[in-house]
Structure 1
Amino acid sequence: MNSYRKRVSFLSLLVISSLSLTACESLSKIHLVKLGIKIPIKEGGMELEDTSKQGAEEGDAAQKPADATVTGSEEPSDAVVFSQLDNDENIKTEFKAMQSEEFVGTGEFMAKMSNPGITQSAVDGKYSINFDAADIGEVSKIILSDMLEENYILNPAVKGSITLQTTNPLHKDDLLPTLEMLLRANGAVLVKRNGVYRIEPDARGAHTADVSILASEQLGAGYQLKVIPLQYVGVIDMAEILKPVVPANAILRVDFSRNLLFVAGTKEELEKIINLVNTFDVNFIKGMSFGLYPLENTEVGSTVADLEAIFNKGEQTPISGMLKFISIKHLNAILVVTQQREYLKEAKKWIDRLDQQNGVIGDGGVIVYKVQHVDATELATTLSSVISGIVPTKSKSLSLAPGEKLGSLSNKNQSIQKPKRVAWLTTSRSQGNASLEGVNIIADEPNNALIIMAEP
């Protein structure tokens, strides 16, 4: 009796466990189908996909074309197999080649230098000066105090003698410039500060004079410090232009970060500096001319090297440095920069002469062509047979677009799906056409493209 009860209890437990497992599996499948998740089922060593009709109907309608599958022995349509090739007959394949461009500048790199003429007064001067080895202090007293009635301070360190004789009488406006000239000849400067003239040694002039930003070309008398802001030219280059023609201590400092020039000097010296600055501080780029010339048959690096050898190397020529050739590799183009706009025409002529194709480009070229309307493997086979003159033998099988997988979806036992065809293509040298010898074509099946290689 006890043995019978044990058997019944064991069978009951076994039935309950089976029902529980079956219910869990069913609920799990229903839940996954509602979520649109495909349930993988392994049959015959291959992994297939099982999607019920109910799950497909409740799925997103927008995903139906992407999830379309082929079952049984039905042949897939071209629209499905080549869905990624965009087989639109109206597709635009036009390519517009890059054209040469020229940007002609003004060719002007200097402003017109102002040269104010010396104005002669209609009234004769009334100050006659005659000094013969006179002390510098005595000369300063006569001109500043007696003639101009100005207050002044003479530094005891200033010493020297002056000899001056005027044939024609001077005007009153000529007295201060004349005194400044005499003091500079003796290593001294005349500085006006707080309404008082100070005669100081040349070395102390920069410490005594007031500093101001140049706002106007109208300058007062006396030794002064000016800050000149530059607009177009770098301050270092401007200083190099000024150094040979101004006094040694006229340029006090160059401020590279702010592009400022600190200068010091008398009224006449500062007027000369300002005139030079205004002459050369012009828009340099506006005067330059640029030409962008794409190459069709040659490589930009080698062509630029040839042009440099023609124009800018070897013995010095009158045009050395007038032409600059820059390689623009991503455009396979040459940028020509010159100060003389007429040289663009000459440079263009030589670029065209050098951009000539002699057989295959360079030491060997590689071109990648993306096939749009047919299968790349079949096209490569056809082109290879045209080049070599040998008709390849191959078995006809279905070709697929990159990324597509052909399979059958069912939860029933079926035969294993046909594997995707893998085409192996080996091309050889041309035998029937000598002009195409050394051309190899390789099919890039994953990208549906052709890789064309050529040897020189």
Structure 2
Amino acid sequence: MAHNRRVFWIVISFLILLLYSAMSVARDESGRLEQSFKNADIEKVIEAVAQVTGKNFIIDPRVKGKVTLIAPNSMPVEDLHETLLTLLRVHGYVAIESDNATRIIPADVARDQLNKAENSQYKQDWITQVLQVENVPAAKLVAVLRPLVAREGHLVALPESNRLVATDTKANLDRIQRLIQRLDVPAQGDYEVVHLTHASAEELVRTLQKLTSDNVGQGVKLQFDQRTNRIIMAGAEAQRFKLRALIADLDTPTSSKGSVDVVYLRYAKAENLAPVLQKIAMNRSLLSEQSGEKSPGQKTDSETGAGAQQLNTLDKQMLKERINIEPDSRTNALVISAPPQILKSLKKVIKELDIRRAQVLIEAILVEISESKQAELGVEWVANGSNGVGLIDFSGTLPAILSGAVTGNASQVASALGQGSGVTSAVGQISTDSRGWGALIRALNSDTGSNVLSTPTLLTLDNEEAEIIVGKEVPFQTGSYATDNAGATNPFTTVERQEVGLKLKIKPQINEGSEVFLEIDQEVSSVLPADGAVDLQTSKRRIKTNIIVGDQNMVVLGGLLDERETQVANKVPLFGDIPGLGQLFRSDQNQREKVNLMIFLRAVIIKDGTESDYYSRQKYYGIRQEQTNMLEQNPGLLKGQGHRPRMPELKKWEEATKPTAPDANESVPRAIKDQADSIEYESEYEQLGL
């Protein structure tokens, strides 16, 4: 019995040992990697991990190379899988988890296809996220966080919004975001404001920034407030303490002696700027500032006179005599003699005034279309007998015709017939004793039309008047003298010449918001036919107005639509009203005139040399093309006698680009920088071929 019990326990122990061994073997087969890999094919390593973890892997054909993996035998399955992911990242590959398998592809392909994910698991693995930073400059965090981003990831800072844009796995981005939360905390007591009494905050900050490359003040940010003449320091307390001591040494009163400086101007005229600066230098606030120091609690008000007791320390009249501003037109410079503080203030004013002003290009279109129609039909009679002469004369030519017929003067008759327009015919019979009759028939039908197009162009500076005149000077008689009281002849005639043609006078002023205020005076005049007038006749079209027009916009300044119809009937009473036969005793004149006149204008703000070059090229090639067309259509009589004058072709202008079309809400600054973007737009003038 005891023997059987002993055998039973031996069998039980053997079975337990066998079961424990089986469980150990199962754990080894499922949770351990039996060997390490050195310079092995990456596909072999992935295959070995797949056998241990039981996961399915899909390997991209571009995944190739040799890898080394040294892993302990006791590594769990989860750690083994993470180790494989890390190994893939080191060699530039990533694993994309899906429902049934894990895809292994190159990292650059994964990043490029990030927005083309086909399953949610892919999106969870690789994402692009915008991280907001509140207290610390985002650009500084890039240097700290970049080592934590995967090699195939992406990290960039947006200084304008103080944000970070990162592309990485979701797990790594969560870790980076937790680190940002720990770093992005407001600083406590790491800045201070230093008030200056004598020195200029702007100049002192510029000097201190040059010293930050040395040990003094290294790591401290400096900024100045020009309005209050203060310096703001941010950084470590120890470094700020060093700079504070240095600022105290530099902020000392300057010598009371005046100084002389020469300021060269770039855009402004020295003659125009000198009077303005002289008035500013005499300003009471500047004199008060220069006359003595202010106590920390004292306030100055130039209107109420508070702080006037400070002027007792220095005679204001003596101070004014020490301030002198002289312009030098030869070099366009200002020679300024003034105390240092006033000289510094004047230089700031010069810097604000000596800026490049914008220009305004004015393109005008004057269109005048006129049409005139005239019709005339009439019959005139003459009868001559022994008892007198009878006339029905509407045109005033019958007496001359009758006189020429009686005397036999054919030239006199022809001259009288030629005085009128249209067709004039005379019939009748005159005997030698001046008896007879005659009839004059006059018929006229005329059409007149004209089309006038004037396109003056003018470029001028902002707030500067400009004028263009295209025409001729026409002499007009204003007086004459033939004889004196004694009867001696000493004739003379006085003549006054007047300009006749096109005149355009403008004065633009650029306002905020890309709009131009224009003072316009435009006139178009011409000489008319005499038509029996004693002297010359002229027609004049003039418009004088003030308008506001947007940049590159076209407006109509004004115009005239005039239509006239005139009917004149000359007839013999009673006889001229007889139906049918009445036409033999009347003369009818009908005339109709129609005039259409419109004036258009377009203003373009020229901000820099690029835009000026573009519009100049446009006008140059436009007139050159007109010249070429004229030369081709009219070869002239001197063929083969040499080249005809032609405008040259400028190669450098072929690459000019169109300037930026402005935003309606964008203001045009007075200080224009030498830069311009190029976008294409089409204007009304391009459609007209101008």
TM-score in terms of structure 2 length: 0.30
Q: Which has the higher contact order (CA 8 A, sep 6+)?
A: 1
Q: Please, what TM-score do these two structures have when normalized by structure 1?
A: 0.42
